[in-house]
């Protein structure tokens, strides 16, 4: 039997800010097993499936009443899938063949997803992970387990993975936190946890086998640190942390304001959004518009994807909310998420994603263009092309945009004919060839999450290799600097919209490397505005250039923390 080594401290990846001191509740999804076997009674299996379906719908509806907008659409879509009469008929047919409800359901879902692939091609892949969680929930209820995670205050969920729906249900409880062994800081679950302010740490490899239900635990969503069986002294220290963090943030925001010297550089702080709710937050925190409007979350609502006018209405509302600041809409980026039967791709991160998917599914691309153009009359909307690697891709994408413009002109639909088009820099290929793109696009946005992944050849959600993933690696920093040097002589602005921009350490380095705009999670806007008040650009620039020559990410972070302690003392509390 494998020995279990108790560890006092684990280091995961910080995912959602906050500190929680509580007791462990384990959820190990890997323990779920489904066997192909005959049922004793068809009637009992039919009844079991019907009861499970009604129970899950009731529980999802209880979560639904707490949310609106994009988040509500995610929950509603899961209810629609469970209630789908086609799926129900398929399950019943399998049960009539003599199979158990569990096996009948999993077989029916495989066929359902295959049909979705035929009707919508790879568009559904981005949802595969969440649908997989939904399948698990039904199976768990059929096996007599709870479908939603139901816990009390002061609980820390420790699991191999977690679905957005579970994060929703946990957000109704005070003082709860999440630790997962898998996943990275850019998954849908993490995005939801951030928005709902549920502290979370991910990629904590081996945590499940080192804790049991009731184990005392501390998680720090700022640093990614996890402490098992903490001493009373450590608990007292972390009880003070939220107050210390709050005081530090207040001091940073109110900190010394520097005069405008000739070396001063203005960095615009914008916000990332996946729906109108986040745009409200961006406006509330006085962000300089939306630097990245993710359209992937909208795909949870089939009504939007079958109606460009509905999609246009979302973009138009967002445009009005931030006017006259910009709303930068990224075309849908189908990413290499884990898949389920019927949707496998040998290497999804190197497969049909980003602009490749859109050029393969040209009608989807044109529909998105038409929706954006219909919403563009205020003149503050920009289009962002995802994961571009070649100039030819940009040229083809722009030719489809011109077709969409011609169609709307024939239909007498007004739009902004000079709408700016930018591109994501997410691969070493596009970063190194930056000068070739300057004549083809109006602006650039660096996605540091994928740029890091492709530069270091590390899957950011890999349970073993995740610690090797770091945006602070000098190779990544040099690519970012190369993009800035290549774009600025042509008067093209460069933004960063990855997780690095929301990290104070990353924001300081990016400022020094000459980045013009940072697009961050809404709750980071005020902190970063305050942060830059403390800094003299000349010093930051000199320091950032030094990081390009450092040997590794660890050294870069250590030296940046030293720089912070010297130049922004209140921020030091986050790195002690």
Q: Which residues contact 211 (CB under 8 A, 6 or more apart)?
A: 24, 26, 158, 217, 228
What are the residue boundaries of the structural domains of the chain, listed by start?
Answer: 9-30+148-234, 33-142, 277-338+350-419, 422-576
pLDDT at 560 over 80: yes
| Per-residue pLDDT reduced to its tens digit, 524-555 | 999 999 999 888 899 999 999 999 999 999 99
pLDDT at res. 321? 98
What residues are paired with 282 via a beta bridge?
Answer: none
pLDDT grade, residue 371 (50/70/90)?
Answer: very high
Higher pLDDT, 432 or 242: 432
> What gap in Å lies between CA 569 and CA 576, rounded to an integer?
12
Chain mean position to CA 198: 14
Q: Which residues contact 380 (CB under 8 A, 6 or more apart)?
A: 289, 319, 322, 323, 324, 325, 326, 327
pLDDT at res. 3? 40
| Per-residue pLDDT reduced to its tens digit, 262-271 | 455 689 999 9
State the Cα torsion 435-439-442-447 to the nearest 10°: -30
| Two structure tokens written together for 454 | 């492709």
| Per-residue pLDDT reduced to its tens digit, 168-195 | 878 778 899 999 987 666 566 787 888 7
Architecture of domain 277-338+350-419: Alpha-Beta Barrel (3.20)
Q: Superfamily for 422-576?
A: Phosphoenolpyruvate-binding domains (3.20.20.60)
pLDDT at res. 200? 95
Q: Which residues contact 258 (CB under 8 A, 6 or more apart)?
A: 264, 533, 534, 535, 536
Q: Which CATH number fits domain 9-30+148-234: 3.60.150.10, 2.40.10.480, 3.50.30.10, 3.40.190.10?
A: 3.50.30.10
pLDDT at res. 193? 86
> What gap in Å lies between CA 98 and CA 79, rounded to an integer?
27
- Record the pTM: 0.80
Higher pLDDT, 261 or 354: 354
pLDDT grade, residue 11 (50/70/90)?
Answer: confident
Domains 33-142 and 277-338+350-419 alike in fold: no
N-to-C CA span, the chain: 38
By three-state DSSP, how is residue 225 classified?
Answer: strand
Q: Which residues contact 304 (CB under 8 A, 6 or more apart)?
A: 298, 310, 311, 314
The dotted CATH code for 33-142 is 1.10.274.10
> What gap in Å lies between CA 20 and CA 242, rounded to an integer?
9
| Two structure tokens written together for 431 | 């970063």
pLDDT at res. 342? 35
State the Cα torsion 461-465-468-470 to the nearest 10°: 0
Residues constituting the chain? 576
Q: Give the helix ranges, DSSP H, for 186-288.
A: 188-195, 232-253, 276-284
């Amino acid at each position: 039997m494998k020995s279990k080594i108790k560890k006092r401290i684990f280091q995961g990846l910080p995912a959602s800010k906050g500190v929680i001191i509580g007791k462990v509740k384990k959820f190990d999804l890997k323990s779920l097993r489904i066997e192909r076997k005959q049922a004793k009674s068809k009637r009992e299996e039919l009844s079991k499936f019907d009861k499970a379906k009604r129970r899950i719908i009731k529980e999802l509806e209880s979560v639904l009443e707490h949310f609106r907008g994009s988040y509500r659409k995610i929950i509603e879509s899961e209810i629609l899938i469970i209630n789908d009469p086609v799926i129900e008929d398929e399950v019943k047919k399998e049960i009539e063949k003599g199979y158990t409800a569990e096996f009948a359901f999993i077989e029916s879902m495989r066929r359902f997803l295959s049909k979705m692939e035929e009707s919508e091609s790879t568009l559904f892949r981005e949802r595969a992970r969440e649908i997989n969680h939904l399948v698990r929930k039904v199976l768990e209820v059929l096996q007599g387990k709870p479908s939603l995670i139901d816990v009390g205050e002061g609980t820390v969920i420790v699991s191999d993975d977690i679905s957005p729906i579970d994060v929703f249900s946990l957000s109704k409880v005070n003082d709860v936190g999440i630790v997962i062994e898998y996943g990275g800081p850019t998954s849908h679950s993490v995005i939801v946890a951030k928005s709902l302010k549920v502290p979370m740490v991910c990629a904590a490899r081996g945590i499940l086998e080192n804790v049991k239900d009731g184990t005392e635990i501390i998680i720090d969503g700022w640093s990614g640190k996890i402490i098992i069986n903490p001493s009373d002294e450590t608990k007292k220290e972390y009880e003070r942390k939220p107050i210390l963090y709050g005081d530090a943030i207040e001091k940073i925001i109110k900190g010394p304001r520097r005069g405008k010297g000739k070396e001063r550089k203005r960095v615009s702080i914008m916000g990332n959004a996946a729906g109108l709710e986040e745009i409200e937050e961006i406006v509330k925190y006085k962000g300089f518009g939306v630097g990245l409007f993710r359209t992937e979350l909208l795909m949870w609502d089939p009504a939007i994807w079958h109606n460009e006018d509905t999609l246009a209405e979302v973009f138009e509302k967002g445009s009005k909310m931030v006017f006259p600041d910009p709303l930068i809409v990224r075309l849908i980026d189908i990413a290499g998420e884990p898949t389920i039967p019927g949707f496998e791709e040998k290497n999804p991160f190197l497969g049909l994603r980003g602009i490749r998917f859109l050029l393969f599914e040209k009608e989807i691309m044109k529909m998105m263009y038409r929706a954006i153009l219909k919403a563009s009359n205020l003149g503050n909307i920009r289009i962002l092309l995802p994961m571009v690697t070649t100039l030819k891709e940009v040229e083809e994408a722009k030719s489809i945009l011109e077709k969409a413009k011609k169609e709307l002109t024939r239909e007498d639909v007004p739009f902004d004919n000079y709408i700016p088009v930018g591109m994501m820099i997410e691969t070493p290929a596009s970063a190194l060839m930056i000068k070739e793109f300057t004549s083809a696009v109006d602006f650039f946005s660096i996605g540091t999450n994928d740029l890091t992944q492709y530069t270091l050849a590390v899957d950011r959600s890999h349970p073993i290799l995740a610690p090797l993933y770091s945006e602070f690696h000098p190779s990544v920093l040099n690519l970012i600097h190369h993009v800035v040097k290549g774009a600025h002589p042509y008067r093209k602005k460069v933004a960063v919209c990855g997780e690095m921009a929301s990290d104070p350490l990353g924001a300081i380095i990016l400022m020094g490397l000459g980045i013009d705009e940072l697009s961050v999670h809404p709750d980071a806007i005020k902190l970063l505005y305050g942060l830059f008040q403390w800094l003299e650009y000349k010093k930051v620039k000199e320091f950032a250039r030094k990081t390009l020559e450092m040997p590794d990410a660890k050294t870069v972070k250590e030296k940046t923390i030293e720089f912070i302690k010297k130049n922004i003392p209140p921020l030091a509390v986050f790195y002690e």
